Amino acid sequence: MFDRPESGERAIIVQLDLGYDDIPDRLEEIRLLAASAGATVCAEVSGKRRSPDAATFAGKGKVEEVAAEIGAYDADLVIFNHELSPAQERNLERRLQCRVIDRTSLILDIFALRAQSAEGKLQVELAQLDHLATRLVRGWTHLERQKGGIGLRGPGETQLETDRRLLGKRVKLLRERLSRLERQRGVQRKARVRGESLSVSLVGYTNAGKSTLFNALTHAGAYAADQLFATLDTTSRKVWLGEAGNIVVSDTVGFIRDLPHALVAAFHATLEATAHADVLLHVVDSASPVREEQMREVDKVLKEIGASDVPQLIVLNKLDLTGLPPSVERDEYGRIDRVRVSAKCGDGLPLLREALTEIALEKARSNRVASHSDAEALGDESDDNPGFFL
C-alpha cells in the first residue's frame, strides 16, 4: 500500500460549482455531514468548473489552493462534496499527502457510527465493501504483486486477486444473511396484515424531525438528535387510536440528495418496510428554505425503492420555528392531505392522531367491503355448482 496518512478530524471541505444553483445549501449540508462524522471544519475551498478534471477532479490550481489550506491549518482530512473516482482519490492523496474522502465515503462513515442493530451493521458493512471493491485496483498498489516466499508461493495469483476473491465471499455471505432477515420480516408483515393493523412508515429528508415525531406519537424513547442520519435502524411501535384500534408506526433512515445507489441497495431490507406500508408520513422541515427540493429528493428515493405509489400524508414539522399555528389541509376529495405540527413542542399532534384515526377507519371500512364482496362471490359460485355442499 502507498503511504496513506492516518485519518483525522481537522478537515478541509472542497465544493466546486459545476453548474449548480444551490451552492449555499450544498455547503451547509456538507458542513452538517462533516460535523455528524465528528470532523472539525477548518476551511472551505470553492471554485467553478465547466466539468471535473479527469485526474484530480478539481484541477492543478485548485489542488494547490487546497494544499495551502492544509498547511495553514495543519489539517489531516480533505472532504470533497462530490463523488470521486478511485483514480482521482489516489492522485489527490499523493499530491496532498493527506487523507481524501468523497461524499459517499463520508456518508458511509456516518452510517457506520450510527448502526446499532445486528442488521444495521450488516447493511453498513455490505455498502462499505461494495464501495471498497471499486478502490482495490487504484488505491492499493501493493496488491498487484504476486505472493512469494516460502510457504506463500501460489499458482500465480496476485494479492489483488486474492483480496478480490475474499471480498467477494464476504459480500455473498452478507447478502445471504440479509436475505434471511428479509424473509423473517415478510412473515411478520403477513401477521400484521392478517391482524388488519394499519401500517404507517415515517419518511423524510434527514434531520426533518422524524425520530422526534416518532417518539411523540409512540413514547418509544428512540434516539433523536440534531444530526444528519441520527436514526439508521428501523424501529416499529404500536399506537392506540381509540375507536380505530392499534396501528403500527415505523421510523426509518432519513434520505438526502445524491444518496449513493450502493446505500439504497444495501438498505433495501430496511427500506422495504416503507414500500409495504399502507400510508407514508412524509415529514418535512417546514422551516427549511429548500423544503420543496428536499421533498422532491425524498420522492426520488421512494420511486427507486418501489414506494412511489404508497399514499402519503404530508407532515409539515417544526412549526415552533415558523410561528404558524397547527392546521389540517384537505384535498379535493375531502381527505386529509397535510398536517402542520411541532413534534418538539407537541403542537398539532392531536390533529395528526385524528388524521391517522380517519385513515385507519377508512382502511377498516375498505377491508369490510372487500370481505363482503369476496363472500358474495363465493356464494355465487355455490349457486352455480349444485354439488358444492355434497
Binding residues for Mg(2+), as ranges, are 211, 231
Closest CA to 121 of 36, 182, 178: 178
Residue 335, Cβ neighbours under 10 Å: how many?
13
CA quadruple 258, 264, 267, 271: dihedral sign? positive
- Calpha distance 245→292 (Å, rounded): 34
Query: Which residue ranges are tagged as binding site for GTP?
Result: 204-211, 229-233, 251-254, 317-320, 342-344
- Calpha distance 46→100 (Å, rounded): 16
3-state secondary structure 325-356: CCEEEECCCCCEEEEECCCCCCCCHHHHHHHH
Angle, in degrees to the nearest 10, between helices 159-194 and 118-133:
140
CA quadruple 235, 241, 242, 246: dihedral sign? negative
CB of 214 closer than 8 Å to CB of 251: yes
**How do beta strands 327-330 and 336-340 pair?**
antiparallel
CB of 350 closer than 8 Å to CB of 182: no
- Calpha distance 240→385 (Å, rounded): 45
Q: Where are the beta strands (DSSP E) in the chain?
A: 10-17, 40-48, 77-80, 99-101, 198-204, 235-240, 246-251, 279-285, 312-317, 327-330, 336-340
CB of 109 closer than 8 Å to CB of 42: no
Closest CA to 256 of 317, 204, 316: 204
CB of 271 closer than 8 Å to CB of 252: yes
- Calpha distance 324→340 (Å, rounded): 8
- Calpha distance 328→262 (Å, rounded): 38
Name residues whose C-beta falls within 8 Å of residue 199's C-beta, 6 or more positions apart in sequence: 189, 192, 247, 248, 250, 276, 277, 278, 279
Q: What are the φ/ψ torsions at residue 206 (nearest 5 degrees)?
A: -60, 140
Query: Which residue ranges are tagged as binding site?
Result: 204-211, 229-233, 251-254, 317-320, 342-344
